[in-house]
Amino acid sequence: MPTIREWSAMGKIHSIVSWDEAVMHTETRPVTDFGSELQQLAANMFATMNAADGVGLAGPQIAVDLAIFVYNCPDEHDRFQYGVLCNPIIELPAGADRNFDASLEGCLSWPGAYQLLSRPDRAICRAQDEQGNPVVVHGTGLLARCLQHETDHLNGTVFADRLSNRSRRKLNAERESKRHLYPADWPIHPKGREANE
C-alpha cells in the first residue's frame, strides 16, 4: 500500500460538497470495480482530505455516490492508522461492553462547526481495501469515531442527524458564522482568515 505522502502525490484535490447537497443524504452504491479508476479516486480523496486537514473523507463528500472512504486518524494511543475502506460494515459493542465517549465532532462538509456527540468508544469496521481484499480495522479513540462518522456518510447520514434540535441549531449557527472562511471550492482554494488574525 502506498504511504500517505504517495497517495496524496498521486491525487488531485477536489472541492468538498456541503451538507446542502442531495448526495450527502443518499445511500451510496456498493463498490464493485476495484480497477485503476478506483485507485485514482482513492488518491484524489487522500489529497483532498489532507488539503482540508481532515482525518477521514467519504465518497459523497466529493460528489461520488460510491461506498468508499479514506482515513488517516489516530487511535486512543495517538498512533495514526490510514487506509481505504470500501463497502464497510460497522460493528459496535453491545450490552456491558458498550461505553460512550462524548466529544466534540465536526465535519469537512460543514466546516468550522462542532458539537458534542456521544458515540461508542470502540468500533470494528469490516470492509475491502482498494484492491478488493478483505480488511478489518479495530478503532479506538478518535479512530472509532472516524469509522462511525464516515460509515454514516455512506448511508446518507450526517452527524447533525444524531444531535438534538437544540444542538443542531447551535451547530448551524456556528457554521453560518464561519461560512465566509470557506470558499465554494474549498480546499482547492485555502480557508480564509478572520479579519482580526
User: Per-residue pLDDT for 170 more than 80?
Assistant: yes
Give the whole-angstrom CA distance, residue 104 versus residue 127.
26
C-alpha cell at 194: 478572520
Largest distance between two CA atoms of the chain: 50
Q: What is the pLDDT of residues 62-76, one digit of tens each?
A: 999 999 999 999 999
pTM summary value:
0.95
Whether 174 sits among the annotated catalytic residues: the reply is no
Q: What is the pLDDT of residues 24-81, one digit of tens each?
A: 999 999 999 999 999 999 999 999 999 999 999 999 999 999 999 999 999 999 999 9
User: Per-residue pLDDT for 192 more than 90?
Assistant: no
The domains located in the chain, with CATH, are: 4-180 (3.90.45.10)
Instruction: State the catalytic residue, choosing from 21, 27, 37, 150.
Output: 150
